[in-house]
């Protein structure tokens, strides 16, 4: 019998994970560890996040050599210019508990290309870049990138000449990184908006480089969630 002919379930199935999520959340609120208001505020904060501020930081740095110097020297201060205060933007007032307050901006040059991973888990510069991709959290990416960066990057469609230094940054402590790629040819005279549009999330991780005309991450299979989050705000 094919899947098509199976009867539809009468009710939405609730997974063990969802049962436990409700149990933990209700217990924490009942015991006063955090409030329902805290939970809502955090979710709303997360909904404000995405890769746009980091892309804008890169575009600004391409257009302003002084700002680029600041970005490379003090990523936390440079983030303020794109509306991201690593300390005060999160609801805590002391940075997010898991992303900390030490952004570093890794500047690529024609002879140096950075790519970022967290081999120990999935550390990622969420306040300025949003949620990490699923593949970034996989044991596969975490195991392989540090040792075979050229092979992994080639799978992403990115190849660089042998004399270009590929530098892998492993985010293992309190620093989080974004990559400041080289401004591509064919973008002469472009505005900040135009430049920011080609700096995708993948460029900011380092698995892609910006290209005129390419304004989205490369298409890859998307595994659907059973009960997906709806961003209908």
Partner 1 sequence: MSKSQHDRTHHAKKATGIGDPQCFKGEAGSAKFKVGDKVRIRDLPDLFYTRCQVYTRGAVGTVVALVYESPAAEDEAWDNTDKPEWFYSVKFRQKDLWPEYHDVYANDTLETEFSERWLEKA
Helix (H, G, I), strand (E, B) or coil at 169: strand
- Closest among 80, 82, 87 to 53, alpha carbons compared: 82
Subset of residues 205 to 224 that bind partner 1, contact rule: CB under 8 A: none
Q: Does 203 belong to an annotated binding site?
A: no
Considering only 63-71, 82-90, 133-141, 207-215, which stretch makes contact with partner 1 by CB under 8 A? Answer: 82-90
Helix ranges, 64-130 (H): 65-73, 75-79, 126-129
SS3 47: helix
Task: State the minimum distance, in angstroms, from the CB of residue 166 to partner 1.
Answer: 5
* Pick 47 or 150: Cβ nearer partner 1: 150
| CA 21 – CA 109 distance, rounded (Å) | 45
Work out how close the CB of 196 gets to partner 1 at its nearest, in angstroms, rounded to a whole number: 26
Under the binding rule (CB under 8 A), the answer on residue 174 touching partner 1 is: yes
Closest Cα to residue 100, out of 11, 171, 3? Answer: 171
Which conformational region is residue 20 in: left (phi greater than 0), alpha (psi within -120 to 50 degrees), or beta?
A: alpha
Q: Is 173 in the site for partner 1 (CB under 8 A)?
A: yes
Question: For the range 13-18, what are the long-range contacts, defined as Cβ-Cβ under 8 Å and sequence gap of 24 or more?
Answer: 15/226, 18/227
The piece of 9-17, 60-68, 164-172, 181-189 that touches partner 1 (CB under 8 A) is 164-172
Give the number of residues in contact with partner 1, rule: CB under 8 A. 34
Could you say whether residue 100 binds partner 1 (CB under 8 A)?
Answer: yes
Q: Tell me, yes or no, if 171 is annotated catalytic.
A: no
Active site annotation includes 123 = yes
d(C-alpha 123, C-alpha 99), whole Å: 7
CA distance 25 to 58: 38
Going residue by residue from 25 to 54, which x/- string records binding to partner 1, judged by CB under 8 A? Answer: --------x---------------------
Least distance to partner 1 from the beta carbon of 104, Å? 8
> Which residue in the block uniquely carries the two structure tokens 């933990």?
24
Q: Kindly state whether residue 150 participates in binding partner 1, applying the rule CB under 8 A.
A: yes
| Residue 138 C-beta: closest distance to partner 1, Å | 17
Helix (H, G, I), strand (E, B) or coil at 151: helix
The residues carrying an active-site annotation are 118, 121-123
List residues forming the annotated binding site.
118, 121-123
Q: Which residues bind to partner 1, rule: CB under 8 A?
A: 33, 76, 86-88, 92-95, 100-102, 104, 111, 119-120, 146-147, 149-150, 162-175
């Amino acid at each position: 019998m094919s899947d098509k002919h199976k009867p539809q379930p009468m009710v939405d199935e609730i997974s063990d994970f969802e049962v436990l999520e409700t149990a933990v959340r209700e217990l924490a609120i009942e015991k006063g560890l955090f409030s329902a208001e805290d939970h809502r505020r955090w979710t709303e904060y997360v909904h404000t996040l995405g890769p746009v501020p980091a892309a804008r930081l890169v575009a600004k740095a391409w257009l302003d050599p002084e700002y680029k110097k600041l970005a490379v020297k003090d990523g936390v201060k440079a983030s303020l210019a794109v509306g991201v205060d690593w300390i005060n933007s999160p609801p805590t007032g002391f940075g997010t508990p898991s992303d900390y307050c030490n952004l570093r901006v890794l500047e690529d040059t024609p002879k140096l290309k950075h790519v970022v991973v967290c081999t120990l888990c999935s550390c990622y510069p969420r306040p300025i870049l949003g949620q990490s991709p699923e593949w970034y959290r996989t044991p596969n990416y975490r195991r392989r990138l540090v040792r075979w960066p050229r092979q992994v990057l080639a799978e992403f469609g990115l190849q660089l000449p042998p004399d270009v230094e590929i530098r892998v940054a492993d985010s293992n402590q309190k620093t989080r990184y974004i990559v400041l790629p080289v401004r591509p040819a064919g973008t002469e005279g472009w505005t900040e908006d135009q430049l920011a549009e080609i700096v995708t999330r993948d460029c900011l991780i380092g698995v892609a480089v910006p290209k005129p005309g390419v304004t989205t991450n490369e298409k890859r299979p998307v595994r659907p969630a059973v009960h997906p989050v709806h961003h209908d705000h």
